[in-house]
Chain A
Amino acid sequence: MTTSSRRILIAALAVVFGLPLVLLLYLSVSTQWHYPALIDHPFTLQHWHWLLQGHSPLVASLGLSLGLSLTVGAVATLTGFAVSRLLAYHTRSTYWLLLAYAPYVIAPVILAVMLNVYLLRIGLTGTVPGVAMAQLLITIPYAVLFFYGFWNERIRSMEHLVRTMGGDAQTVFLHAIWPAARGLLAVCFFQTFLISWFEYGLTQYIGVGKVQTLTVMVFRYVSEANPYLAALAGVLLVTPPLTLLLVNRHVLVQRIWSHKR
């Protein structure tokens, strides 16, 4: 590919991915943008003022979504990592591994309907822990499948080597597992965070409208035909994943053990 065609491709990709973000930002500072006007005039920061002064319910939704998704991402990643090791080293792992596919064979909404019976009985329907538990039932199997292939013969040999050299469990983790796993842990955390962050059907069903995550709020404003607040919520919705994407890209791209070190 020539330099000029690469530039054209980059520009096209920037337009395709950047334009919706620009539109969101633009809508969030508009109040009266109607067809056929090309732009709204004058712009207003009233929605942003409302948000920054803490009067908007979006502030609470942002806090709730961050807390929920960070927790779900962290718990799913760590649990999936540990469970995948147990499964990989188990002689009959195939049968257990099939179970991990169950949430993906059944649609999440169907799963929510099935789960709700149990969550109702234990009083978790309509609560944040109930939604978190439901989301973990999707994200933990995802993390297990994600990490299953990590526990290959090389990692096992490294573990054995450290053991025979006198290392305890902590030394095995620090020198045989962590250096190889840390990039994958970051990626898995990012992906399970995203699954939780953008989850709508399951969250709405188990949360019964009481657990108002940012994703739920965006859908609410859209259904209320309020594109300006939907855009404001949308900007908030895409900011954390974009930030995490940038951080993750840094983790993946840096060649920690390369010759450059």
Chain B
Amino acid sequence: MITLRNISKEFGSEQVLHDVHLTLNKGDTLAVLGASGSGKTTLLKIIAGIHREHSGSIHVGDTRIDPLPPQKRGVVYLYQEALLFPHLTVRENVGFGLSVQNAPANTQREAVDAMIRDMGLAAHADKYPAQLSGGQRQRVAFGRAAIIHPDVLLLDEPFASLDFDTRNEMQQLFTRISDAHTMTTLFVTHDAREALRVGDRFAQMRDGMLHTYDSRRAFIEDAASGVQSELDFWTKIQQEIAADSSPQ
């Protein structure tokens, strides 16, 4: 479980985050929707320990983690770009976190093989990142994060640069792996449909404030979230296409 209390952050005279509160239970996926510059990434970087100067506190379980350095927090941050290690194979990339933790060789081998199978990367295990497609690289990045079972996984628009089909496939994969490993996740996106698909809890970042919703329905029905208007837009497009293609 992760708890954020009174998190605020300023860059110079600009207040980027205002008094953010959040409690997320183990296994929850919070989809955080928000426009560019709304403070989503800043919030993730504060949780990960990349931005250290802020007010408020962060707890994972009973442990206060905000005084800890990033490597001691048990929080993994995934960027939009896969950021694979170019000098390591897929197998070595996936096993990176375990080797950093000095896990026994047998445990590493078994866990990596299982994760590579789960990710559908068995045919690519000995390839280097330069030999993979964008979607395959994101799979490796996701597997590399998931294999160490972080207390909290932070995803910062991880599928934003992928094409529609690959993105769709990755959203399904994320949901499956996340459920299988009972991962606690903050998934930041600017795409309302992606938020609805991957999240089981929902929030929106507006003007540095985090607005959370108890249910999918509440998220959609809040006019300020803009989700309903986006869904209406796509419904209207579908209706227009259907009307165009129907016989005159």
Contact = CB atoms under 8 A, between A and B. Distances in A.
Interface of A: 154, 157-158, 160-168, 171, 175-176, 179-180, 256-259, 261
B128 A261 contact: yes
B69 A157 contact: no
B131 interface: yes
Given A157-B81, A257-B128, A163 B70 contact: yes
Interface of B: 48-50, 69-71, 73, 75-79, 81, 83, 85-88, 96-97, 100-101, 128-131, 144-145, 148
Contacts of B97: 165-166
Contacts of A163: 49-50, 69-71
Nearest to B76: A164
Nearest to A180: B86
A36 to B, nearest CB: 61
Contact of A165 (B50, B100, B129): B100
Nearest to B153: A164
A166 B71 contact: yes
B149 to A, nearest CB: 12
A157 B148 CA distance: 19
Given A167-B100, A171-B100, A259 B48 contact: no
B83 A157 contact: yes
Contacts of B131: 259
B77 A161 contact: yes
A160 B100 CA distance: 14
B77 A166 contact: no
A256 B96 contact: no
Given A166-B101, A167-B100, A259-B128, A161 B83 contact: yes
